[in-house]
Amino acid sequence: MFDNVTAYAGDPILSLNEDFQRDPRSDKVNLSIGIYFDDAGRLPVMAAVDEAERELVAQRRTRPYLPMAGIADYRAAVQELVFGADSAALREARIATLQTIGGSGALKVGSDFLKRYFPDSQVWISDPSWENHRVVFEGSGFQVNTYPYYDGATGGLRFEDMLKTVEGLPAESIVLLHACCHNPTGVDLSQAQWEAILPVLRARRLIAFVDMAYQGFGSDLEQDAFAVRALTDAGVTCLVANSFSKNFSLYGERCGALSVVCRSSEEATRVLGQLTCTVRANYSNPPTHGARIIARVLGDAALRSNWTAELAAMRGRIQVMRQAVHSGLEGHVAGRALSRYLDQRGMFTYTGLSPDQVDCLREVHGVYLLRSGRMCVAGLNQRNVGVVAAAIASVLKHTPANW
């Protein structure tokens, strides 16, 4: 029956991470997937998460089916974290938010919803973008195009070209934007650049779909939400997919949310109904455990303050690793190309290494990066950063750099 089923080529991130797990070398280094590891190379259990989980386990709560839209406390906590306690849209009950299965689930629910109501629209993602963006939107039946974004020569942003492309898009085009810590490049718009693009999105009646998977890893929880809040305040039609995988270190719990900013509370009620219907058609309702932990941490002042501090420490450690890899590469990499290790933000640096160089790093040195050249700086630590810098230097000695 399945003779004509073709083999899956694998996913550029998740399959590579699985390859890493199977690699028998004891000195291998995983800088492929977007996961924060601590300085001992371990996946941290955050103290506030641990405490909230212990409390929940002690309560021995039952696990009924959740409402299709998820846990009410969780949804309210998401809204406050993402849009800010003083958000006018929140006060006016204009935001429809539902719990989703991770950030990917939020993108999928949003994309299926948009396809139903904007079947002729096309999607525009940054060049480059997280590999799964294209997959999710094409999976919903959209044509996916790119807008200029990353400047390989400078390691910075092609903002003027991006703006010009967005200015030329037909009304109701869907523009996928990264709120902060752009994946895969680590290059973000400045606040002034966001302010320059907002009126264009509004005037051209474009639909902004913002992916915020790294809130807290750029500047801080508030500043990282700048774009989302500015879009909302500017009255741009906007969807926001957010994820707690990274900032709660709860990857496997698949906790995310989708929010849609509407023009009135009555519209938000209708939109929430249709999002809920999309959930029912896909997986009925979301799971309980991780969302209960997050709702507890965000709803308790002491736990929330501990969590915020621990997240700040994670962010700080990534900065230290950026400095360390930069120092390790000094003398091996031309100065201009090196500054990107310091300037790019969040978990990722777009190294400019070619697929062949990345293959060599993996095969010869056991250092795993994505073939796009994306390095997860959060996988570096005091023990492996010197080894990684030496491996990159060695690869560069044998193959010409492409910057």
Catalytically annotated residues:
130, 211, 246
CB 249 within 8 A of CB 218: no
SS (H, E, C) the chain: CCCCCCCCCCCCCHHHHHHHHHCCCCCCEECCCCCCCCCCCCCCCCHHHHHHHHHHHHHCCCCCCCCCCCCHHHHHHHHHHHHCCCCHHHHCCCEEEEEEEHHHHHHHHHHHHHHHHCCCCCEEEEECCCHHHHHHHHHCCCCEEEEECEECCCCEECHHHHHHHHHCCCCCCEEEEECCCCCCCCCCCCHHHHHHHHHHHHHCCCEEEEEECCCCCCCCHHHHCHHHHHHHHCCCCEEEEEECCCCCCCHHHCEEEEEEECCCHHHHHHHHHHHHHHHHHHCCCCCCHHHHHHHHHHHCHHHHHHHHHHHHHHHHHHHHHHHHHHHHHECCECHHHHCHHHHCCCCEEECCCCHHHHHHHHHHHCEECCCCCEEEHHHCCCCCHHHHHHHHHHHHHHCCCCC
Per-residue tokens: 382: 């005091």
Q: Does 217 bind ligand LMR (CB under 6 A)?
A: no
Q: How far is the CB of 11 from ligand LMR (least distance, A)?
A: 7
| Pick 13 or 325: Cβ nearer ligand LMR | 13
| Pick 132 or 381: Cβ nearer ligand LMR | 132
Q: Does 346 bind ligand LMR (CB under 6 A)?
A: no
Q: Does 13 bind ligand LMR (CB under 6 A)?
A: yes
Q: Does 33 bind ligand LMR (CB under 6 A)?
A: yes
| Pick 66 or 378: Cβ nearer ligand LMR | 378
180-209 binders of ligand LMR (CB under 6 A): 183
| Pick 16 or 71: Cβ nearer ligand LMR | 16
Q: How far is the CB of 202 from ligand LMR (least distance, A)?
A: 29
Q: How far is the CB of 349 from ligand LMR (least distance, A)?
A: 13
CB neighbours of 168 closer than 8 A, spacing ≥ 6?
Answer: none
* Binding residues for ligand LMR, total number by CB under 6 A: 6
Contacts with ligand LMR, 59-98, as mask; x by CB under 6 A: ----------------------------------------
358-387 binders of ligand LMR (CB under 6 A): none
| Pick 228 or 241: Cβ nearer ligand LMR | 241
Q: How far is the CB of 183 from ligand LMR (least distance, A)?
A: 5
Contacts with ligand LMR, 92-121, as mask; x by CB under 6 A: ------------------------------
Spatial distance between the Cα atoms of 400 and 199, rounded to a whole number of angstroms: 43
Whole-angstrom CA distances from 6 to 11, 137, 140 are: 15, 21, 20
Among 87, 97, 100, 132, binds ligand LMR (CB under 6 A): 132
Amino acid type, 296: R
Report residue 330: phi and psi, to 5°. Answer: -55, 135
Q: How far is the CB of 378 from ligand LMR (least distance, A)?
A: 10
Q: How far is the CB of 16 from ligand LMR (least distance, A)?
A: 9
| Pick 173 or 183: Cβ nearer ligand LMR | 183
Residue nearest to ligand LMR (CB): 34
| Pick 34 or 216: Cβ nearer ligand LMR | 34
Q: How far is the CB of 132 from ligand LMR (least distance, A)?
A: 6
Among 113, 130, 159, 368, binds ligand LMR (CB under 6 A): 130
Q: How far is the CB of 140 from ligand LMR (least distance, A)?
A: 18
| Pick 15 or 269: Cβ nearer ligand LMR | 15
Among 16, 29, 31, 34, binds ligand LMR (CB under 6 A): 34
Q: Enumerate binding residues for ligand LMR (CB under 6 A).
A: 13, 33-34, 130, 132, 183
